Structure 1
């Protein structure tokens, strides 16, 4: 499930690079549509809008001229006319009720005066003005309204937009050439196209910047997700943003940390599980081997006991000496089995942690001498030389130490040739503990077999197993007892023989909940 989620997340972030293009394209499309809408509006509605605004402007001029006309001040009236003509680019004509032009902006000939001043009228515009007057709606004019008419002058090759209105008994004609309006519209459209292109370029540059700015952290997160799919959790998002994108990056970092911890725990669990499975397989193998070895070790004494008992029952031993021999053999073999069973029970208790530990001052020199005295009967008739050197006192369990030294001693007696030498010694270690060494003369052990000496029922010489009298579990008990006391054991070949040692701490640790069972 986590792997599928990571793959999906990585695939999504891998597509983030296209988000930059999409973001850029979206902003660019909005800019293009915006400019196209403005251009379309100008193409289809600007002329009508401009015409309406121009008509409003001509109407406002008419109102201003009419107001000044009715004021009766000729000079002020002419000033208004000149100002309008110069500022608004409108040409004005005034015609009396008889149709005579009394004023025209394009002055080319003198006409009658207005309010006692001489004015000039442009005879070339007379036809234009008259055409405008004839085209205007008389009802509107008489009602005080204005009328807009379009007049075409063929000789001038020009069309004019004209406003016609009344000034008292006279008529005012305002004219603007359509060419001027079209030219103005063209200029506006050209400027609009130029500004639109500049605006589009600015929008494209801005969209590229924004796309890069907003998608950069997403691309970084994509790289983090890709690393996570490779189980590489060292890569982190470091954008430092505080918005939603930054929160997404922090969440991705938390996910990376949690996954790393979970996978580490899973690996540790798998490793422990593998070790436990391996240990269980080893235990199963040791159990099978133990059963085989115990069966093998007990087979011979049981067979001897059974054989001699049957012999006694059948009356094969007729003389007292034979019966004595049969009974002695049965007793020896029974004692041998009892010793083996006792040692196996002791070893099992040690391995299961059911042996109690008592901490008390223990003189290791005294323990060595006690072991020498107890094994004196085993050395009878063999002319073995035994020496003890050193004396170190530690806080430990005397019973377990006696068992360790006794097993080392009996093992040394068993494998030392007649007339040989056994040496026991003890010395203080650098850590304040003690190291007991038991040396015996004789043949050494192959180096590859030294680690196996501590296995149950292992003997370097299978042919001498019964002749030596050992059960094959003595050294296993030594190692288990030493481990119980917090010590270590070992064996090594030395010149003239082999030596076994046990190193013990200065003070044994006694668990608070350990009880004798």
Structure 2
């Protein structure tokens, strides 16, 4: 079972409090009686010194002081002469004399049986104390201690002090009952036990509060460290103490910030490296694809050139007209190869992102007009009708790339529209500020799956017809790459007895 630091800290405080209270109880149990006896002996010694200091042989002058001492200290005092005659006794001092002018010296008292018993017991104790006193200590220190027991009750005894007074001619006997001492000791022990229990409870409560207050920042620091271990750096130590724990918390915060920065930088480096690896893999794949496609597409024109060149070398063309045809074919195929290679290179540059758009404001009508002019030889040779829908739409884009899109759409339309067919160029301003350019040509509709595949490189709907018409199969792929470069979109759809190719340019970023 895992114990928290708060539990351990609280347990340590509880154990310390219990040990402390136990030590107090043990001291009280084993040493309190001896200590209490020592203190009572000191008190009796103090009484002896006071009486010795104020007694000059005249009992009557100190009777009131002696009674006050007896009442305050709970002792019984007696003064005996050297010949053991009573000069003063606390029991007699409490009686009223029958006749006479003084308390002592021939005064008679009326006593009952109980009082007579007390006087007899007091007299017996005084004589026992004087008989048991250490004479040598009494001579050296002027006083000594003696313990006595009651003749009637074994458990009723006295702690007594015997001391010389009035120049050593008389004796002071001070007696303190053990029952009084035992009663005080019992009360004190009981009070100490109650106080110890309350003290222990208070210590437990204070220990709980202290452990909670002291361990709260440590627990918070532990939570922050756990979050850091899970790479979660959002938690921070929020304490503001100036001690070592506060310094530790602030160090943890600083470490968290540094780790977050270091791991973030490492993550960015890893992402950049992964992106570079993907880019390299993409370039390698495109390079392999370029080689494969180039080999495939150039195979036919190379074979034609090789065949016709071999025919010229062997003299197959035996007249000038045939030789001119052979040379013309070789030149056409060489031009086709050159066009194909240039388009493939352009497409590769677009796909690699090596074309940086140069954005300017353009007149769409001018782009359409220029494209129609450049392709006039093609569409006029097929007797096609070019319709240019007048427009005042302006667009912010790259002029060369957008011109390439219009040219590719238009040459594709001329290539696949029937002889004498219609071709329409138009543009529209979208509600969000974007612009859509479109080229529609009359002709056969394409299946929906074909409309998706025509954007793939070297894909032809009719390979024989495409080669006859001079198509390379990558014109629309170039349009798609240009759309990605300009963050635009492109597509084709069957419409009104023909096919419409559209190119949508988004609104400028600044609106």
TM range (shorter): 0.7 to 0.9
Verify: 1:290 aligned to 2:290, yes or no.
yes
Structure 1 residues 146, 292: closer, same or farther in 2, change over 3 A? same
Q: CA deviation at 1:469?
A: 1.2
Q: CA deviation at 1:440?
A: 0.6
Cα separation, 1, equivalents of 2:509 and 2:304: 44
Verify: 1:131 aligned to 2:117, yes or no.
no
TM-superposition CA deviations, 1:331-361 (whole Å, max 9, x none):
2212221222333344455556777988888
Verify: 1:60 aligned to 2:46, yes or no.
yes
Structure 1 residues 252, 451: closer, same or farther in 2, change over 3 A? farther
Verify: 1:34 aligned to 2:36, yes or no.
no
Q: Name the residue aligned to 2:64.
A: 79
Q: Is the CA contact (8 Å cut-off) linking 2:142 and 2:163 kept in structure 1?
A: yes
Q: Is the CA contact (8 Å cut-off) linking 1:392 and 1:428 kept in structure 2?
A: no
Q: CA deviation at 1:438?
A: 1.6
Q: Name the residue aligned to 1:151.
A: 148
Cα separation, 2, equivalents of 1:362 and 1:144: 129
Q: TM-score, normalised by structure 1?
A: 0.79
Q: CA deviation at 1:145?
A: 0.9
Q: Name the residue aligned to 2:211.
A: 211
Structure 1 residues 191, 369: closer, same or farther in 2, change over 3 A? closer
Structure 1 residues 452, 116: closer, same or farther in 2, change over 3 A? same
Q: Is the CA contact (8 Å cut-off) linking 2:160 and 2:175 kept in structure 1?
A: yes
Q: CA deviation at 1:498?
A: 0.8
Structure 1 residues 221, 90: closer, same or farther in 2, change over 3 A? same
Structure 1 residues 431, 48: closer, same or farther in 2, change over 3 A? closer
Cα separation, 2, equivalents of 1:206 and 1:359: 75
Cα separation, 1, equivalents of 2:70 and 2:152: 23
Cα separation, 1, equivalents of 2:27 and 2:487: 97
Q: Is the CA contact (8 Å cut-off) linking 2:79 and 2:170 kept in structure 1?
A: yes
Which segment is superposed worse, 271-280 or 20-29? Answer: 271-280
Structure 1 residues 67, 493: closer, same or farther in 2, change over 3 A? same
Verify: 1:102 aligned to 2:90, yes or no.
no
Cα separation, 1, equivalents of 2:476 and 2:465: 17
Cα separation, 2, equivalents of 1:363 and 1:198: 96
Which segment is superposed worse, 112-121 or 273-282? Answer: 112-121
Q: TM-score, normalised by structure 2?
A: 0.80
Q: Name the residue aligned to 2:162.
A: 164
Q: CA deviation at 1:178?
A: 2.8
Q: Is the CA contact (8 Å cut-off) linking 1:361 and 1:393 kept in structure 2?
A: no
Cα separation, 1, equivalents of 2:311 and 2:236: 86
Q: CA deviation at 1:119?
A: 8.0
Q: CA deviation at 1:306?
A: 0.8
Verify: 1:322 aligned to 2:322, yes or no.
yes
Which segment is superposed worse, 414-423 or 224-233? Answer: 224-233
Q: Is the CA contact (8 Å cut-off) linking 1:136 and 1:147 kept in structure 2?
A: yes
Q: Name the residue aligned to 1:460.
A: 461
Q: Is the CA contact (8 Å cut-off) linking 2:88 and 2:104 kept in structure 1?
A: no
Cα separation, 2, equivalents of 1:206 and 1:51: 36
Q: CA deviation at 1:389?
A: 2.3
Q: CA deviation at 1:237?
A: 6.5
Q: Which has the higher contact order (CA 8 A, sep 6+)?
A: 1
Tell me the secondary structure at the aligned position of residue 287 of structure 1. Answer: helix
Q: Is the CA contact (8 Å cut-off) linking 2:283 and 2:352 kept in structure 1?
A: no
Structure 1 residues 211, 291: closer, same or farther in 2, change over 3 A? same
Counting only pairs closer than 5 Å after superposition, residues 47-446 of structure 1 correspond to structure 2 as 47-70=33-56, 73-107=58-92, 118=107, 122-142=119-139, 145-157=142-154, 158-168=156-166, 169-216=169-216, 218-219=218-219, 277-278=277-278, 280-348=280-348, 364-379=364-379, 382-392=382-392, 394=394, 402-427=403-428, 435-446=436-447
Is there any run of 5+ residues in structure 1 with no aligned partner, and where? Answer: 1-13, 510-517
Q: Note the aligned Cα RMSD (angstroms).
A: 4.1
Cα separation, 1, equivalents of 2:496 and 2:419: 18
Q: Is the CA contact (8 Å cut-off) linking 2:382 and 2:420 kept in structure 1?
A: yes
Q: Name the residue aligned to 1:5.
A: none
TM-superposition CA deviations, 1:65-97 (whole Å, max 9, x none):
223321x55433111222122222211222222
Tell me the secondary structure at the aligned position of residue 106 of structure 1. Answer: helix
Q: CA deviation at 1:105?
A: 1.6
Which segment is superposed worse, 462-471 or 391-400? Answer: 391-400
